């Protein structure tokens, strides 16, 4: 019941009034269906199979009227009424089916959009804590279960209405017999609750199995190169075999529940029908025609009873998926980046930094249960229209610092300020709008180069596109491609080299005309020639926009106005390149020394 109420609430919340209109139409169809059965009475009388002039049916006005008419006329009336009934019923049914599909697809799309929207507005912290494959599974597998569940729910409503109307007709025919059968039905339903509980449990298991499948498959394709080059095929095959066994067990358990419940229903219904017929004839002395009609009604009704039971089990299986999606939506909402609902990102104005972006006493750790902080008491200023470089060993906290500066992560302690004003929900998006960020592992959407560029600046002209490509030292290779800007670059731009991808993403970043450009080792895959070109381009931008660069190759930050050296989550040195180079005992001089030695070794070999 709890499962059912949950579905009713969700569907009602979405469909509202339309649901009642459909329910009314269902009642009409069921009523017309019942009328069809009554037509059998005069038909049986006319054909001489049954005497309808005596007994119960002879009191019905319509039967009396038909009896008084000549046989040929009453037959035409009956057949005509039959055609009218079936046509009317079919027309309403057709419209109902179409409306049901509208409600069903509308409802599913509503859930899909609600979930996707919630995900779009969740903060970065939410995503780093979630497994990507679980989110994919929610939007595919779990949504699929919900789709099936809501479809079954519509069927369930139809079955219930049909059953109620048929019960009403049966009550009219014989109150005693109908009450007797209903009581039997209630007893059968009471004992079948256990199947619904088991189906719900299976729904939870199937959710877990679905998650592990998508997780494993995602890992597989993300790591396909490692799998091939390290010959990990066997271990992956074993994983898949394990999964298949789990899946088979779960499917078998689900099929067993369904088979057991059908067996239970069929056996108990045959018992009830046998007792019912015996009681009708021997105890209640029911008249032949009335008995026949009741039997007809109940033979049509029982499969519906059974259908209702099957529907309930299917709904119970779908409920865990539904709850999981709702929980995900709630989690996203709790991690919402900007609290105002319905805030239109298109109207967010970029922020102008007059003087500086600042970190004041900022500390941060990814896991609040761990002692170690990824950032510890960070104090720094990034001056407007200057170039700031951040250097440090791997794991020193450079990327975390950038994420804090972009407002992707919130400091555990301390503040990020823009011109002295703390970064909050209101100015956070404005700051983000003024930033172009080029990550270590640049991402390109599946499409052509033009689409990838226009995504960020839909109104950019052809000339602006080429200017951006020139800036990022990629115009030359794009020109050489078979379809130039219209060349498809495939899934994640896989057909391009790492360096080409980096350059395209840099061009895209520039096209946005940012006031802050952040490069997180964005030139790490480039050869010296292309790196120099980008270096020169960045030099030309100096003084025109704020540039923040994370770099391992120190030659690329020679012209930086400020270098920040990080180690174990803290800033250990900061200042101009030459000043730091002169601090012989500093970490920066050590890095420089190492890179010089590396260069000399390479040159010597």
Ligand X SMILES: Nc1ncnc2c1ncn2[C@@H]1O[C@H](COP(=O)(O)OP(=O)(O)OP(=O)(O)O)[C@@H](O)[C@H]1O
Residues touching ligand X: how many (CB under 6 A)? 11
- Residues β-bridged to residue 450: none
- The two three-digit tokens of residue 297, written as one number: 């009604």
Q: Where are the alpha helices (DSSP H) in 174-232?
A: 175-191, 193-222, 224-229
Q: Does 366 bind ligand X (CB under 6 A)?
A: yes
Residue 143: CB minimum distance to ligand X, A: 27
d(CA 531, CA 555): 10
Cβ atoms of 318 and 146 closer than 8 Å: yes
Residue 374: CB minimum distance to ligand X, A: 4
d(CA 54, CA 45): 11
- Choose among 554, 524, 516, 502: nearest CA to 434: 516
Comparing CB distances to ligand X, the nearer of 376 and 542 is 376
Q: Does 373 bind ligand X (CB under 6 A)?
A: no
Choices 115-123, 223-231, 393-401, 429-437; region in contact with ligand X by CB under 6 A: 393-401
Comparing CB distances to ligand X, the nearer of 141 and 397 is 397
Q: Which helix (H) or strand (E) holds 519?
A: strand 516-520
Q: Does 400 bind ligand X (CB under 6 A)?
A: yes
Comparing CB distances to ligand X, the nearer of 450 and 553 is 553
Angle between helices 143-173 and 71-120 (to 10 degrees): 150
Residue 602: CB minimum distance to ligand X, A: 21
Comparing CB distances to ligand X, the nearer of 100 and 521 is 521
Q: Does 570 bind ligand X (CB under 6 A)?
A: no
Comparing CB distances to ligand X, the nearer of 129 and 197 is 129
φ/ψ (deg, to 5) at 223: -110, 25
Residue 203: CB minimum distance to ligand X, A: 32
Burial class (CB in 10 A: 0-12, 13-18, 19+), 83: exposed
Comparing CB distances to ligand X, the nearer of 301 and 565 is 565
Comparing CB distances to ligand X, the nearer of 306 and 363 is 363
Choices 137-145, 198-206, 327-335, 398-406; region in contact with ligand X by CB under 6 A: 398-406
Cβ atoms of 289 and 56 closer than 8 Å: yes
Residue 393: CB minimum distance to ligand X, A: 7
Residue 395: CB minimum distance to ligand X, A: 4
- Choose among 288, 280, 281, 294: nearest CA to 45: 288
Comparing CB distances to ligand X, the nearer of 167 and 571 is 571
Comparing CB distances to ligand X, the nearer of 60 and 592 is 592
Choices 229-237, 317-325, 391-399, 491-499; region in contact with ligand X by CB under 6 A: 391-399
Identify the residue among 394, 578, 585, 605 touching ligand X (CB under 6 A). Answer: 394
Using DSSP's 3-state secondary structure scheme, residue 549 falls into strand
**Residues numbered 26-65 forming contacts with ligand X, rule: CB under 6 A:** none
**Residues numbered 516-545 forming contacts with ligand X, rule: CB under 6 A:** none
Q: Does 398 bind ligand X (CB under 6 A)?
A: yes
Residue 366: CB minimum distance to ligand X, A: 3
Comparing CB distances to ligand X, the nearer of 312 and 396 is 396
**Residues numbered 209-268 forming contacts with ligand X, rule: CB under 6 A:** none
Q: Does 399 bind ligand X (CB under 6 A)?
A: yes
Cβ atoms of 388 and 372 closer than 8 Å: no
**Residues numbered 127-186 forming contacts with ligand X, rule: CB under 6 A:** 128
Kindly list the distances between the CA atom of residue 347 and the CA atoms of 344, 430, 431, 515, in Å, as whole numbers in the listed order. 6, 10, 13, 17
Choices 109-117, 200-208, 396-404, 409-417; region in contact with ligand X by CB under 6 A: 396-404
Residue 111: CB minimum distance to ligand X, A: 29
- Integer-rounded Cα radius of gyration of the chain: 36
Q: Does 369 bind ligand X (CB under 6 A)?
A: no
Comparing CB distances to ligand X, the nearer of 3 and 398 is 398
- The two three-digit tokens of residue 429, written as one number: 């998006």
3 state SS for 352-417: CCCCEEEEEEEEECCCCCCCCCCEEEEEEEEECCCEEEEEECCCCCHHHHHHHHCCCCCCCEEEEE
- Residues β-bridged to residue 422: 417
**Residues numbered 100-129 forming contacts with ligand X, rule: CB under 6 A:** 128
Residue with tokens 């609600």: 114
Identify the residue among 149, 397, 493, 514 touching ligand X (CB under 6 A). Answer: 397
Residue 128: CB minimum distance to ligand X, A: 4
| Contacts of 571 by beta carbon, 8 Å cutoff, 6+ apart | 378, 379, 380, 564, 565
Number of residues that make up the chain: 605
- The two three-digit tokens of residue 141, written as one number: 């597998």
Choices 89-97, 289-297, 387-395, 581-589; region in contact with ligand X by CB under 6 A: 387-395
Identify the residue among 143, 301, 321, 396 touching ligand X (CB under 6 A). Answer: 396
For the chain, how are helix, strand and coil distributed in percent, rounded to 5? 70, 10, 20
Q: Which residues bind ligand X (CB under 6 A)?
A: 128, 366, 374, 392, 394-400
């Amino acid at each position: 019941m709890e499962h059912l109420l949950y579905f009713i609430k969700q569907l009602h919340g979405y469909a509202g009034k339309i649901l009642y209109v459909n329910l009314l139409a269902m009642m009409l169809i069921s009523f017309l269906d019942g009328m069809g059965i009554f037509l059998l009475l005069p038909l049986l009388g006319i054909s001489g199979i049954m005497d309808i002039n005596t007994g119960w049916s002879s009191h019905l006005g319509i039967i009396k009227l038909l009896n008084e008419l000549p046989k040929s006329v009453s037959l035409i009336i009956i057949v005509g009424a039959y055609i009218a009934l079936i046509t009317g019923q079919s027309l309403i049914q057709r419209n109902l089916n179409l409306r049901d599909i509208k409600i069903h697809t509308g409802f599913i799309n509503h859930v899909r959009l609600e979930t996707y929207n919630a995900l779009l507005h969740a903060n970065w912290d939410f995503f780093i804590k979630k497994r990507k494959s679980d989110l994919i599974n929610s939007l595919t597998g779990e949504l699929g279960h919900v789709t099936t569940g809501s479809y079954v729910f519509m069927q369930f409503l139809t079955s219930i209405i049909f059953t109620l109307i048929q019960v009403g007709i049966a009550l009219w025919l014989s109150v005693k017999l109908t009450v007797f059968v209903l009581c039997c039905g209630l007893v059968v339903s009471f004992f079948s609750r256990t199947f619904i509980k088991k189906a719900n449990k299976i729904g939870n298991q199937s959710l877990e199995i679905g998650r592990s499948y998508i997780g494993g498959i995602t890992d597989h394709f993300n790591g396909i190169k490692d799998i091939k080059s390290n010959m990990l095929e066997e271990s992956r095959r074993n994983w898949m075999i394990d999964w298949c066994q789990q899946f088979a067990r779960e499917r078998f358990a689900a099929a067993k529940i369904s088979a057991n419940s059908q067996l239970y229903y069929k056996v108990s219904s045959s018992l009830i029908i046998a007792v019912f017929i015996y009681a009708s004839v021997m105890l209640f002395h029911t008249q032949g025609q009335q008995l026949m009609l009741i039997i007809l009604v109940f033979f049509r009704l029982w499969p519906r009873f059974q259908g209702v039971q099957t529907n309930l089990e299917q709904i119970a299986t779908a409920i865990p998926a539904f709850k999981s999606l709702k929980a995900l939506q709630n989690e996203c909402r709790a991690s919402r980046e900007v609290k105002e609902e319905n805030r239109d990102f298109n109207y967010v104005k970029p922020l102008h930094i007059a003087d500086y972006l600042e970190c004041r006493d900022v500390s941060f750790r990814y896991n609040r249960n761990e002692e170690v902080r990824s950032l510890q008491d960070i104090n720094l200023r990034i001056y407007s229209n200057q170039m700031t470089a951040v250097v440090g060993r791997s794991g020193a906290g450079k990327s975390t610092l950038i994420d804090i500066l972009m407002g992707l992560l919130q400091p555990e302690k301390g503040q990020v300020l823009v011109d002295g004003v703390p970064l909050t929900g209101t100015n956070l998006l404005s700051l983000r709008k003024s930033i172009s960020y080029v990550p270590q592992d640049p991402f390109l959407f599946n499409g052509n180069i033009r689409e990838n560029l226009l995504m960020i600046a839909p109104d950019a002209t052809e000339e602006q596109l080429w200017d951006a490509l020139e800036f990022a030292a990629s115009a030359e290779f794009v020109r050489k491609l078979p379809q130039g800007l219209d060349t498809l670059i495939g899934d994640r731009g896989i057909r391009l080299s790492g360096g080409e991808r980096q350059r395209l993403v840099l061009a895209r970043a520039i096209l946005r005309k940012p006031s802050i450009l952040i490069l997180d080792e964005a030139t790490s895959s480039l050869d010296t020639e292309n790196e120099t070109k980008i270096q020169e381009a960045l030099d030309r931008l100096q003084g025109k926009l704020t540039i923040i660069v994370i770099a391992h190759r120190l030659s690329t930050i020679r012209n930086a106005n400020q270098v920040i050296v990080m180690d174990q989550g803290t800033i250990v040195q900061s200042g101009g390149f030459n000043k730091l180079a002169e601090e012989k005992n500093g970490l920066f001089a050590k890095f420089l020394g190492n890179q010089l030695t590396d260069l000399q070794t390479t040159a010597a070999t």
